[in-house]
Every structure is written in structure tokens, then in C-alpha cells.
């Protein structure tokens, strides 16, 4: 833990000739709840599972035996609550003559902002690492290896999502029939639709998501291209074309995430499937809370902190999301 903030380190706070002290820190833009399903829990860990429907009914010959079928159990995913927190210490003199005297209430805001930034980064890293089953998160004080495999034990973006009944694997990497991972443009969006058109339920029946949300890095080439072609799509025209045919895809919402690092990555999902059953999950047992001020009796050091408890991940994402890293490979 760092040493407490002292008067020598921030003398301006006790200098009465300085009327205004300005905070200079990044204002976290809340976007994670636009592409993560957020839910609360009272438990240390939760397990998600599912049960399939029945296979398709069939003909019965005269005096024949009606076919029988039983549901198939789905995959499980465990969400274990992790604590995230930060503490800021002050010397007693700094607290009395600097912080408390000026009534800088933004200390609490800074603590909550710090936690908000961690949440946004962790959620965005699920997009950056969608092709992996684990990655290393580089924190401010320690690094942590995070498993990001889904309930089927493969990466969020994979051509090998196993089906619960053992049927043919599903692919949710953008694919036009010839090339995987198309760059984002009109052809890429059509390929995303094609990829989604092959989705099936656990018994192999068509289960096609309506891709209506795009997730990409804010102010990236993907973000600019998306805004450029949306105008034509909303007008029912083919983007970047003088043809008189209508657009082959529907308009979509753009979720531009500042925290995504890979500028060429993009993904699309069905917003109606952003729920407890499908897609990315953010499971929270304690929202960010500023703790009561603590006094260290020996030194009179003042400590103030904030903590939160949550976990994130996914169980079934193949049926609602498609991904591309933009490499055409």
C-alpha cells in the first residue's frame, strides 16, 4: 500500500491563496451494461445450466409406436464473486487542513470512478480476448490470469462451439462461406448475418439471432465505417453503391467502447438475447460502496476506501453473438 498523502506532497491543498483545486482524471464512460447482461446475486458463487427442448416430432404409421424423446442438459458455468477495491490514505494534518477543510467531496467520487474504470476494462477485455480461453490481466498492483472459456469450454469466438446433444459444432466467427474474420463493411455485415443464419438450438433446430447491435472500439476505423454505412442502410440503399437495389441488412445500434484495444475487432449480437440465458453476464453481489473512514490510532493516518464484488463471463454465447478480428484469415 502506498504511503499516505502528506502536506509535502500536495502543499497546494493547505495554501489558502489558492481558491480552486481541479481534479484531473479520466471520467469513466459507462458502456459495459450495453453489451453485458447485468444481474445481481446474494451468493458467493452461482451456477448456470440449461435444459433443451425436444427434437422435432415425426410421422406415426397406423398402429405404430409414437417416437419418444427427452430433453438434453446444457453446459454449466460458475460465477464466483471477486472483490475489487482501492484505498487512499492521508496524514492527519493533510486530512484536517487540506481535504476536510476544503470539503473536497470528490474523494468519494474518485474512489467510485477508479472501480468503474476497472469494470469497464475487464468487460472490454472479453472482446479483446474473445478468441482465447484465458488471458493475463495487467492490474495496477498485480497481474491476474483470467479464464474466459464459456460453458462449452471453448473461447467466446470459435468455429467449434459444441452442441449439447453432440450434434455438429457451431461457428460464430464471421464467415461468408469462403473467408473468416471479414473486415467491417457492408460485405462483413452480410457475412455476419449469414453466420447467424446457421445457428441452431441444442437439438439442431434453426435458432437464428437478429443481429442488431455492433460492438467496436470507439473512434476506430470500424466505428467510422459503421456510421458511414448506417445512413444508406437506414434509407434502404446499398452502402457505397449507385445501384438501385435495397439494402440487404437492417439498421443496427453502435456500442462504441473506449476500453477495447484491438481497433479492427468487431462483434454483433441480438439485443433481445441480452438476458440471463445468453451472451455476456455481469453478476454483482455488491455495487461500489465507499467504506467508513478508518483512523490508524498510532499515527492518526486517515484511510478511506471503496470496494465492490462481482464476476463476469458467459455460458452460451454462440447463439447470440458473432465475432471478427478483421484479418480475413
* Residue 111 domain boundaries: 30-50+77-324
CA terminus-to-terminus distance, the chain: 45
CATH of the domain at 45: 3.90.1690
The Cα–Cα gap between 108 and 110 comes to: 5
Q: Is residue 196 part of a domain?
A: yes
**Number of compact structural domains in the chain:** 1
Q: Considering the entire predicted model, what is its pTM?
A: 0.85
Q: Is residue 55 part of a domain?
A: no
Encode pLDDT of 163-215 as tens digits.
Answer: 988 888 999 999 999 999 999 999 999 999 999 999 999 988 999 999 999 99
The Cα–Cα gap between 302 and 296 comes to: 7
3-state secondary structure of 227: helix
Burial bucket for residue 267 (CB in 10 Å: 0-12, 13-18, 19+): buried
Q: Is residue 226 part of a domain?
A: yes
Half-sphere exposure of 179 (CA within 13 A, CB side): 13
Q: Is residue 304 part of a domain?
A: yes
Strand 280-290 and strand 266-269: the pairing is unpaired
Encode pLDDT of 206-254 as tens digits.
Answer: 999 999 999 999 999 999 999 999 988 988 888 877 776 778 889 999 9
Amino acid at each position: 500500500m502506498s504511503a499516505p498523502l502528506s502536506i509535502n506532497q500536495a502543499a497546494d491543498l493547505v495554501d489558502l491563496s489558492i481558491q480552486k483545486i481541479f481534479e484531473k482524471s479520466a471520467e469513466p464512460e459507462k458502456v459495459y451494461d450495453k453489451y453485458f447482461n447485468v444481474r445481481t446475486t446474494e451468493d458467493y458463487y452461482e451456477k448456470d445450466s440449461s435444459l433443451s427442448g425436444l427434437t422435432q416430432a415425426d410421422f406415426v404409421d397406423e398402429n405404430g409406436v409414437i417416437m419418444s424423446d427427452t430433453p438434453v442438459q446444457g453446459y454449466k458455468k460458475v460465477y464466483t464473486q471477486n472483490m475489487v477495491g482501492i484505498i487512499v490514505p492521508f496524514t492527519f494534518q493533510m486530512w484536517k487542513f487540506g481535504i476536510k477543510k476544503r470539503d473536497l467531496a470528490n474523494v468519494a467520487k474518485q474512489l467510485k470512478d477508479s472501480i468503474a474504470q476497472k469494470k469497464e476494462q475487464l468487460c472490454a477485455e472479453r472482446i479483446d480476448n474473445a478468441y482465447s480461453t484465458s488471458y493475463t490481466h495487467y492490474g495496477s498492483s498485480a497481474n491476474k490470469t483470467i479464464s474466459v472459456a464459456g460453458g462449452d469450454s471453448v473461447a467466446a469466438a470459435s468455429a467449434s462451439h459444441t452442441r449439447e446433444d453432440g450434434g455438429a459444432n457451431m461457428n460464430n466467427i464471421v464467415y461468408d462461406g469462403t473467408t473468416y474474420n471479414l473486415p467491417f463493411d457492408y460485405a462483413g455485415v452480410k457475412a455476419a448475418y449469414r453466420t447467424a443464419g446457421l445457428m441452431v438450438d441444442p437439438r439442431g433446430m434453426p435458432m437464428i439471432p437478429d443481429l442488431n447491435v455492433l460492438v467496436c472500439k470507439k473512434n476506430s476505423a470500424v466505428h467510422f465505417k459503421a456510421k458511414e454505412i448506417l445512413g444508406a442502410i437506414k434509407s434502404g440503399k446499398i452502402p457505397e453503391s449507385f445501384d438501385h437495389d435495397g439494402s440487404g441488412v437492417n439498421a443496427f445500434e453502435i456500442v462504441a467502447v473506449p476500453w477495447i484495444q484491438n481497433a479492427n475487432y468487431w462483434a454483433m449480437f441480438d439485443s433481445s438475447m441480452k438476458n440471463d440465458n445468453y451472451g455476456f453476464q455481469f453478476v454483482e453481489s455488491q455495487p461500489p460502496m465507499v467504506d467508513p473512514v478508518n483512523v490508524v490510532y498510532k499515527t492518526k493516518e486517515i484511510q478511506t476506501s471503496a470496494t465492490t464484488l462481482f464476476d463476469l463471463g458467459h455460458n452460451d454465447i454462440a447463439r447470440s453473438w458473432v465475432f471478427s478480428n478483421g484479418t480475413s484469415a
